[in-house]
Amino acid sequence: MKAFLKTRPEPGGVEYLDWKMPEKERGDVLVQVKAAGICGTDMHIYHWSDNIVQEYKPKLPLVMGHEFAGVVVEVGSNVKDLKVGDRVTAMPILYCGECFYCKDGKQNICDHRPLLGLGVDGVFAEFVSLRSSNVYRLDGGVSFELGALSELTSVGLHAIDRARLKGGETVAVVGAGPLGLMLTILAKHAGAARVFTTGLEADRGRLEIAKRIGATAVFVEREDAKQQILEFTGGLEADVVFESAGTAAGVIQSLNLVRKGGRVGILGQGHEVAAIPTAMLSFREIELVGTRAYTPKDWKRVSAMLLNCKDDLMKMITHCLPLHMAEKGIQLMESREGLKVILLPQEP
């Protein structure tokens, strides 16, 4: 089969190759990949970023990618709940199921959690094999391109739950990347009274998409997000703020936008040190909530959410490219020209 691999431990260091078909165990399914999304994590592995290398210790050569949708083409002898022809996606965290956190329903912070495309071969390929317990069916109304957004949607669903977002609340999303736009969409569909999405001048195209989704776009280099939220809320500020930028400045901005007693969800996984005035957390009783990835509970409802948010989610997909152009897709996302780039392994 054809696959896109990280082959060298250096920035770039990728190749589009003929590669071995994945092996299938008795509890696995073999899936023909129909669409795969490029994620920020893929960009980090592409650049061989120290933080990613230290966290996942990837062994090369490695098929990249972990966001996808496809069709089951083979099932192992122990698989009972999936069949050939099923349209599916999959939770790419291969949690152990045995540690304290897995047994507590927190598989996202499992002690042993290899990830497709980082710890094991991923989905930037024509086929992928993985255990059936991680595979979830997609509704027939979900296109493969939309299905490739399942992983990012699950990240957003988990964050919405962690922050206990309720209908009628005011939400601010700090950062206008794919994660920020996903949170914008899900907050809107969760019944937020209004969503403010902040970004830089370089994010103009992405903020225009936020406007089309129904958010109030704020260019932080020339507009005062705090003042706009104060005016809308009668001086209260946002009930919930999601930090998706992954920067120290984004964390500080989030704390400045949330009301007393409000909640701040930290999703950006930034590695910069943020000097947080802890007195602010205490005096204003702000809840600072860390949120990472997702659990099977989130994946069980992802197909329905994709259908419910279909029109808005499709606005996020800016490019569909053949798999051999994966490196070009990464470059499009880095330049901010691409918001969500989808790779299509099954070329005509």
Q: Which residues are catalytic?
A: 41, 44
Cα distance between residue 272 and residue 249, in whole Å:
9
Peptide bond into 9 cis (omega under 30): no
The letter for the amino acid at 139 is: D
Cα distance between residue 266 and residue 280, in whole Å:
16
Cα distance between residue 134 and residue 295, in whole Å:
10
Cα distance between residue 104 and residue 100, in whole Å:
6
Cα distance between residue 306 and residue 298, in whole Å:
12
Give the 3-state secondary structure of residue 275: coil
Cα distance between residue 261 and residue 219, in whole Å:
26
Cα distance between residue 236 and residue 194, in whole Å:
13
Residue 58 tokens, joined: 């990837």
